[in-house]
Amino acid sequence: MSIPSLFSRRSVVQAIALTVAVSGGSAMAQAFPSKPVSLIVPFAAGGTTDVLARALADKLSQALGQPVIVESKPGAGATIGADYVAKARPDGHTLLMGAVHHTIASSVYKKLPYDFSKDLAPITTVALVPNVLVVNATTPVKNVAELVAMIKPAPGKHAFGSNGNGTAQHLIGTQFQNLTGTDVIHIPYKGSGPLSTDLLGGQILMSFDTITPVLPHIKAGKLRPLAVTTAKRSAALPDVPTLDEAGLKGFNIGTWFGVLAPAATPKDIVARLNAEMVKIIQSPEFKAKMADIGAEPIGNTSAQMAQQIASETEKFGKLVKEAKVEIE
């Protein structure tokens, strides 16, 4: 056998192997999904994550031709659900409805069984939802100044609730105390559902939940909004000031929600999911639904979401360190 013919055969074999690899990836994406898709919500049912997941799943089922089933796996500040998806088979059939909380948990928890920035692949950010400081309507305070005047002389007497340790609500509550010189007990819940129940029942004084789960109670006159936590006011609550306007200068923390897949999920499948989701998120129907719940639809690229995660992980890492928040 001549050397040229040997090289020629090797080249042919390599070319065939490359073609098979490329076509195999394409075939995998074309065959996807081959069964129902699970969209994991890392909080209890009834909260913003759950509401957004169900709004997206409804239309995504139609686009993919397979049921998209929303499953709740709450606990440990949304880290249980994230860990479940990080360790799932990377074939696009198990997805996470993640949130800003995961960029905070990386700094708050000493040990996590997964690395949020390495073990999960961003698909797209679904929406941004402002948080709002609310109290039970029976509470005799009408604004932030009156609330601070009530709780400051009684350290450790009152409590605020959050969606769990290491969540945005937890960090917002900690920052609020640092800036106002108050001491309020933190009560972590597994989601907005049980949190709202206790807030309405008077078991806790206040919360910094996202607007979505508390908006119906605000409209019903059962909860009183005192301030939103983002830099600008919410279109859903235009008459409610920001915490910055209420005297806590520079306060700006909101909650984004987005979908992620296990890190090794084929890029073709991630691209397919991104394209289908962005189409849904930017549709007039979905935008109208988001407006009703106080959410701002986003629908960005996977790369933009990855950049957002890296930036916020760094930002919240500094805030966590300054606030001295740490969980074993």
**pLDDT at residue 316, rounded to an integer:** 87
The two tokens of residue 307 are 């950049």
Ranking 2-6, 98-102, 146-150, 253-257 by mean pLDDT, the lowest is 2-6
Q: How many helices (H) and strands (E) does the chain have?
A: 12, 11
What are the start-end ranges of the H helices in the chain?
A: 3-31, 48-64, 79-86, 101-108, 116-119, 144-151, 168-180, 192-201, 211-219, 267-281, 284-292, 302-323
Per domain, the residue ranges of the chain are 35-127+256-323, 132-228
Task: Give 18-62 pLDDT, tens digit per residue.
Answer: 454 444 445 555 689 999 999 999 998 888 999 999 999 999 999
Nearest Cα to Cα of residue 218 among 127, 130, 133, 296 = 133
Residue-averaged pLDDT of the chain = 90
Evaluate if residue 318 carries a pLDDT over 90. no
Task: Give 59-99 pLDDT, tens digit per residue.
Answer: 999 999 999 999 999 988 899 999 999 999 999 999 999 99
Please state the pTM of the whole predicted model: 0.82
CATH T-level topology, domain 35-127+256-323: D-Maltodextrin-Binding Protein; domain 2 (3.40.190)
**pLDDT at residue 47, rounded to an integer:** 87
Banded pLDDT at 3 (limits 50, 70, 90): very low
- Compute CA distances 34 → 27, 92, 105, 132, 206, whole Å: 12, 10, 33, 41, 46
Evaluate if residue 176 carries a pLDDT over 90. yes
Task: Give 295-315 pLDDT, tens digit per residue.
Answer: 999 999 999 999 999 999 998
- State mean pLDDT over 221-248: 96
The two tokens of residue 239 are 């008459």
Evaluate if residue 5 carries a pLDDT over 70. no
Task: Give 262-300 pLDDT, tens digit per residue.
Answer: 999 999 999 999 999 999 999 999 999 999 999 999 999
Cis peptide upstream of residue 262 (ω within 30 degrees of 0): no
- State mean pLDDT over 144-171: 94
What's the DSSP call for residue 231?
A: S
Rounded CA gap, 195 and 304, in Å? 32
**pLDDT at residue 280, rounded to an integer:** 98
CATH T-level topology, domain 132-228: D-Maltodextrin-Binding Protein; domain 2 (3.40.190)
Greatest CA separation for the chain: 95
Distance of CA 300 to the CA centre of its chain: 15
**pLDDT at residue 188, rounded to an integer:** 94
Evaluate if residue 245 carries a pLDDT over 70. yes
For residue 197, what are the contacts with CB-CB under 8 A and spacing of at least 6?
Answer: none
Banded pLDDT at 255 (limits 50, 70, 90): very high
